[in-house]
């Protein structure tokens, strides 16, 4: 009887180990294939290592809206492209609004 229990324990351990290895392999393959598809920025200044924009305070109007969805054709300024992005993805992005205090 103890030989049977020992074999069952060994079989269960083998199944758990095989399942773990399989899960890790599938997760690794899935993450490497989808990693490029999860970029926020798909078109803007792709030749740069990092997109950085500088704005002088004097250039700000009474209110300026900055894009946070990376879909604006006027980037870094918002053109309302987040509305289509939100409808397509179910996201809730909106612009960063900077306004002068009164």
Q: Which residues are catalytic?
A: 50
99: left (phi over 0), alpha (psi -120 to 50) or beta: beta
| Burial class of residue 67, CB neighbours in 10 A (0-12, 13-18, 19+) | buried
Q: Is 80 exposed, middle or buried (0-12, 13-18, 19+ CB in 10 A)?
A: middle
């Amino acid at each position: 009887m103890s030989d049977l229990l020992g074999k069952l324990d060994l079989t269960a351990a083998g199944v758990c180990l095989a399942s773990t290895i399989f899960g890790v392999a599938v997760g690794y393959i899935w993450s490497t294939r989808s990693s490029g598809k999860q970029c926020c920025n798909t078109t803007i200044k792709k030749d740069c290592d990092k997109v950085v924009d500088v704005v002088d305070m004097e250039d700000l109007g009474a209110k300026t809206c900055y894009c946070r969805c990376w879909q604006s054709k006027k980037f870094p300024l918002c053109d309302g492209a987040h509305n289509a992005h939100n409808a397509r993805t179910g996201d809730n992005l909106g612009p960063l609004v900077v306004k002068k205090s009164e």
